[in-house]
Chain A
Amino acid sequence: MTVTRRALQVLAIASFLSLTGCATIGDAWDSMWHEVTLPEFPAFDEYTETPKSYVEIALEHDFLVRVKPWERAVLARPDMSFDPDALQSARRSHTFFSKEGSFVGGSTGGGGCGCN
């Protein structure tokens, strides 16, 4: 299982680095994400013309990005909510709480036995 473990670690690090813009995985990945992230603000450095990371963009925008109310059509989509199906997430949280040694954070959810 050493190989699987190593592969998972590499994948996790690579995903994190690509999301923050600190590294890229390859041309295919690059082209896909360039298309996706491009037009909303100057996502390219004015002088070097290299892509900027989210961290750089956030720093330029007074640290916090400001999306105006009229630009929020996508953010208002049901599938952009962190919890699109409350019943399903309640059921899954209770299952994992009952069958695993830890719990899912981010709320003040109630208890239950979970003994069996």
Chain B
Amino acid sequence: MSRARRERRRERATLRALTSSALALLGAAKAGADTAMERVETSYSFSTYSEDELASSKTLPGAERERYSIQTHQASIAGPITEWLDLSIDVTHEKMSGASPWYNTQDAAGTPIQILSGATIDDTRNDIALHANYYTERGRLGFGGGYSTENDYTAMSFGTDGTLNFNEKNTQLSGGFGLSFDQIDPVDSDLYTLRPDHEDKQSYTGFLGFSQVLNRRSVLDGSFTYNWNKGYLSDPYKEVFRIGGIHYADDRPNSRHQFAFLLRYNRHIEETESTIHLSYQYYRDTWDVSSHMAELSWYQNFGDSFQLIPHGRYYSQTGAGFYVPYLPTTQGKLADQTSDYRLSPYGSISFGLKAEYVLHSSWLRDVEWRLNAAVERYHSSGDLCLSTVSVEAPGLVSFTVFSLGVRASF
């Protein structure tokens, strides 16, 4: 490229920077998201999650094949309390029903097949979370707490997190610490002797993050998260079956250290009015599960009021060291054992599309409405795993999620 052409480009860039500076200043305060919110934002979303029926080849002839479905209502309100303080409240109400994987056995060819829980599970989950942020010249300090309850489960969590800005707010360090105290009281523990009456677990999470503005259109973010789960980490509703007719409880180690390294990159392309979000996560834990996750979202704007967001996600994990599809007749109970498909080796792929429409109501001044509708399809299989899976877990799930949402800020 000639020097003259480069100079012209530079001049154009300077001119554009000057002309857009006035507009940019309006948005400048929000760019680092390190001042208290200026507007009240409320949102509501309804979604349905439904799992595909289990394939007839993956279970016994005539056995239950219908799986889980969940209807979720979510609502949130967030707004400024003072110039330096804002508060948000999120509530979730979910209704779950259907059957879930119970244990595996084998068919005539010796291939594992899935037996689903006979009785239909009906459960509701209510969750409330509060978060307050205090802002200073240098960054943000946040405190939060949450309470989640189901028929058989309660969880209480607390956390604190914060950010520190450096380098004229182009570099941001973040960190946080959280704990959760959970209790489980499995239903029908008097009918199913392998189920415990009451158990509890605790988890302690810490994360450190680094965010860097790369240029006027792109930003990179990396974080490292550590989580320690301790206590009863088994699934009381799952069993390990020994061929021949003996059922054992799902029995996992009572400690699990988890590590996740997440990288995210956002870039805006002015020429096509689109923004791409790329993310990658590497995860590993002390149960020998390691996973790779890569995701791409494409935010395509059509004018100021319409946005289409297609996205794709790929995930692959190795199985836990103590995962067994079932126990052969010659094998006794293992010290640690599970037949949970979620701890088996597999890969998954999901695709989704979201549409968002922005409008300003004429009958209420200065209210911005955002309406959105989204669909996501998730499919998992042993074939999608990065490493070769010799025996695929029969309970691997595929599901579809539809959602509708509305947001208003004033």
Is the contact region of chain A dominated by helix, strand, or loop, or is it mixed?
Answer: loop
Interface centre among A66, A79, A90 (most CB of B within 10 A): A79
- Known contacts A36-B271, A38-B9, A40-B215; A110 and B157 CB within 8 A of each other: yes
- 8 Å CB contact of A90 from B27, B90, B121, B209: B90
- Known contacts A108-B207, A110-B148, A112-B153; A81 and B177 CB within 8 A of each other: no
B76 touches A87 (CB 8 A): yes
CB distance from B39 to the nearest CB of A (A): 12
C-alpha spacing A9/B112, complex, angstroms = 30
- 8 Å CB contact of A88 from B21, B45, B96, B269: B45
Q: How large is the interface on B (under 10, 10 to 19, 20 to 34, 35 or more residues)?
A: 35 or more
C-alpha spacing A113/B272, complex, angstroms = 43
For residue B257, CB closer than 8 A to chain A, the reply is no
A73 touches B225 (CB 8 A): no
For residue A80, CB closer than 8 A to chain B, the reply is yes
Q: Which of A5-42 contact B (CB under 8 A)?
A: 5, 8, 12, 15, 19, 35-42
Q: Return chain A residues, CB-CB under 8 Å to B294.
A: 12
B342 touches A105 (CB 8 A): no
Q: Return chain A residues, CB-CB under 8 Å to B225.
A: 105-107
**Residue-by-residue, is A82-107 near B (CB-CB < 8 Å gives 1, otherwise 0)?**
10111110111001100111111111
B214 touches A111 (CB 8 A): no
C-alpha spacing A88/B182, complex, angstroms = 24
Q: Return chain A residues, CB-CB under 8 Å to B148.
A: 110-112
Is the contact region of chain B dominated by helix, strand, or loop, or is it mixed?
Answer: strand
- Known contacts A65-B170, A115-B153; A101 and B289 CB within 8 A of each other: yes
For residue B100, CB closer than 8 A to chain A, the reply is yes
For residue B241, CB closer than 8 A to chain A, the reply is no
Interface centre among A35, A36, A101, A105 (most CB of B within 10 A): A101
Residue of A nearest to B24 (CB): A73
- Known contacts A1-B383, A73-B23, A105-B224; A110 and B90 CB within 8 A of each other: no
**Residue-by-residue, is B7-30 near A (CB-CB < 8 Å gives 1, otherwise 0)?**
001101100110011011101101
A111 touches B182 (CB 8 A): yes
CB distance from A101 to the nearest CB of B (A): 5
- 8 Å CB contact of B221 from A74, A82, A91: A82
Q: Which residue numbers of A lie inside 8 Å of B, CB to CB? A: 1, 4-5, 8, 12, 15, 19, 35-42, 44, 49, 54, 57-58, 64-77, 79-82, 84-88, 90-92, 95-96, 99-113, 115-116
